[in-house]
Amino acid sequence: MSKTSDARADTVGMSFLDSVPRKMVTVYLPLVVFLIVLLFPFYWMAITSVKPDAELLSREGNPFWVINPTLSHFYKLLFETSYPQWLWNTVLVSVVSTFVSLAASVFAAYAIERLRFKGSKHVGLSIFLAYMVPPSILFIPLANVVFNLGLFDTRWALILTYPTFLIPFCTWLLMGYFRSIPAELEECALIDGASRWQILVKIVLPLAVPGLISAGIFAFTLAQNEFLYALIFLTQTDVRTVPVGAIAELVKGDVFYWGQLMAAALLGSVPVAIIYSFFVEHYVAGLTSGSVKA
């Protein structure tokens, strides 16, 4: 009888959320504020990229709206600059670096979590601490390595240096996710005669797809937005990535071509947002099952 009364009390106690005014205050209003804060940068980029120069430089009118929209900034960006080549360089470098980093991180994370060897926990901690080292310190020795290998001013300079900060982070994330996979599955497979390679390919990786997607999205985003290494290792226009190319070519002294800059930022960020929207469920599952337990 007491349990029934407690259940009724709990039901009555939560019923205040059913009223429309309370829902507006506790649910819908915070969601609206969150969406405005989240989407405002995209809105500002969009309206700035279609504003003519006269409206961009004018102090009159509504700065949050466009009176005479134009596509001239997109035309100049796509046909009068090397932006298509920068975009291709960014995608190529980011994709290759992501796949290389994920491959190395899978082996490292699985070895640390499943293969028993002395000092495995310390190795995992060391890998994560390596991610905390600022790139502004690492670029000095990496620049010497890149120059001695003859990779300066090539896309390979970024493909080989980006894993230095992508692998530690992806390894740390996958370690937490591999830890959430029951070890009994692998023990049963070992009893049945499966090798470690078969266990990794046929059991662990299929179960770790959300974690792999989360690590891949993080790695791709970090590689796409990286600025320091791309600025130092690439000086020629045709091998630059979008972050460096836009700043180097669309800013002349103290003159900022805001229309083209915002168009470049919009074209570079929207595809990533679309990718996030397709994999958002796996992305959240990978974070909750992996990084939280790590």
Could you give the angle at the alpha carbon of 165 between the alpha carbons of 160 and 170, nearest 5°?
Answer: 110
Distance from C-alpha of 77 to C-alpha of 188, rounded to nearest angstrom: 58
Over residues 232-258, the mean pLDDT reads: 86
Cβ neighbours, 10 Å, residue 221: 15
pLDDT higher than threshold 50 for residue 15? yes
Distance from C-alpha of 200 to C-alpha of 17, rounded to nearest angstrom: 47
Domain ranges of the chain: 2-70, 76-291
Looking at the domain covering 76-291, what would its CATH class be? mainly alpha
pLDDT tens sequence across 178-218: 888 888 888 888 888 888 888 888 888 888 888 888 888 88
What share of the chain has pLDDT > 90, as a percent? 12
Over residues 127-144, the mean pLDDT reads: 81
Q: Which of 37-41, 61-65, 204-208, 233-237 is least confident?
A: 61-65
- Taking a C-beta distance cutoff of 8 angstroms, is the pair 217, 166 a contact? no
Per-residue pLDDT band at 266 (split at 50, 70, 90): confident
Handedness of CA 216, 217, 221, 224 (dihedral sign): positive
DSSP labels for 160-177? Answer: HHTHHHHHHHHHHHHHHH
